[in-house]
Structure 1
């Protein structure tokens, strides 16, 4: 059993790193050559390539983190007290975001520019919370490598965002420019002020 877990541990890390590198190159290529239309793409091989690599990375990261716990032991209880709530709350907010953005917009359709709800605090709130969920996973698993994969996830999301912003500017023009001016790409002091105002007003 230990040999099998060790093999899963090594393969999952290799898959996570490889898929991250390929996906990052794919997104960087689209930044350089946007006419290729690699991302965003609502359907076809381009869509399945990007989402397939992304899901492969995320799945491999989870498997790696769980195998870290199996191989290294449960560790100190405090890491679960901190990591599990961060992971669950962040992932819950990520899922909640579908309510505002909608599944079609999430998967690269153009069903209207969403600027309300959680999108009033960040232009990419689900990306922020997905990274935080992975940080929580890294804390809970006691894995510095998983925390490194959380940082890798942020880089991937940043490449997604750069491609998506150009696409949104083409699709929504001035409305998206105004949104870019008023709302941070990820999170800044404006996000915190708006959260405070929403709680205390």
Structure 2
């Protein structure tokens, strides 16, 4: 079994790295050559290419993190006490975001600009919580490389956002400009103040 885990461990890291590089290049090209329409795209090969690479990266990251535990041992219980709640809570918020935003909007349809609920705290709350979930996974697995993959995920999301903001400005115009001014791209002090106000009120 140990001979099987080591190749999976190495292959998962290579797949995650390769998918991240390809997806990063794909999104960067679209920033430069917007007329290609590589992202956002609600259907067709462009949609499947971007989401396919993204899912490949995420799946390989999870496999790598789990194999890190197998290869390096269970480690200290404290990392699970810290990492697992961060991972579960963050992933739960991400899933709630899919329901709140709607699957069509999540997958690049234009079903209306959503600015309420969790989107009043961040313009991209699902991206924030997905990165936090990966950080929790890295802590739980005791893997610095998984934390590095969490940082890579943030960079991928940043490229997604730069492309999506241009698309949203074209689709929603002044409404999205106002939203950009009032709500942070990811998280800042306004997010924390609004959380505090929501708790106190």
How would you bin the TM-score normalised by the shorter chain? over 0.9
CA distance in 1, matches of 2:3, 2:143: 20
1:17 alignment counterpart: 17
CA contact (8 A) 1:66 1:141 kept: yes
Deviation at 1:98, TM superposition (A): 1.6
2:71 alignment counterpart: 71
Question: How many residues get paired?
Answer: 201
2:152 alignment counterpart: 152
CA contact (8 A) 1:13 1:61 kept: yes
Q: CA RMSD in A?
A: 0.3
The answer to whether residue 183 in structure 2 is matched with residue 175 in structure 1 is no
CA contact (8 A) 1:5 1:71 kept: yes
Give the TM-score taking structure 2 as reference length. 1.00
After superposition, where does 1:4-43 map in structure 2 within 5 Å?
A: 4-43=4-43
After superposition, where does 1:101-120 map in structure 2 within 5 Å?
A: 101-120=101-120
CA distance in 2, matches of 1:27, 1:85: 32
After superposition, where does 1:89-108 map in structure 2 within 5 Å?
A: 89-108=89-108
Q: Secondary structure at 1:54's aligned position in 2?
A: helix
Q: Which string of whole-angstrom CA distances, capped at 9 and with x for unpartnered residues, describes residues 64-88 of structure 1?
A: 0000000100000000000000000
Deviation at 1:162, TM superposition (A): 0.1
Deviation at 1:100, TM superposition (A): 1.8
CA distance in 2, matches of 1:141, 1:98: 26
CA distance in 2, matches of 1:20, 1:71: 23
Structure 2 gap ranges (5+): none
1:85 alignment counterpart: 85
Q: Secondary structure at 1:67's aligned position in 2?
A: helix
Deviation at 1:160, TM superposition (A): 0.0
* Structure 1 segments (4+ residues) deviating >3 Å: none
CA contact (8 A) 1:100 1:116 kept: no
Q: Secondary structure at 2:109's aligned position in 1?
A: coil
Give the TM-score taking structure 1 as reference length. 1.00
CA distance in 1, matches of 2:94, 2:200: 24
Deviation at 1:99, TM superposition (A): 2.3
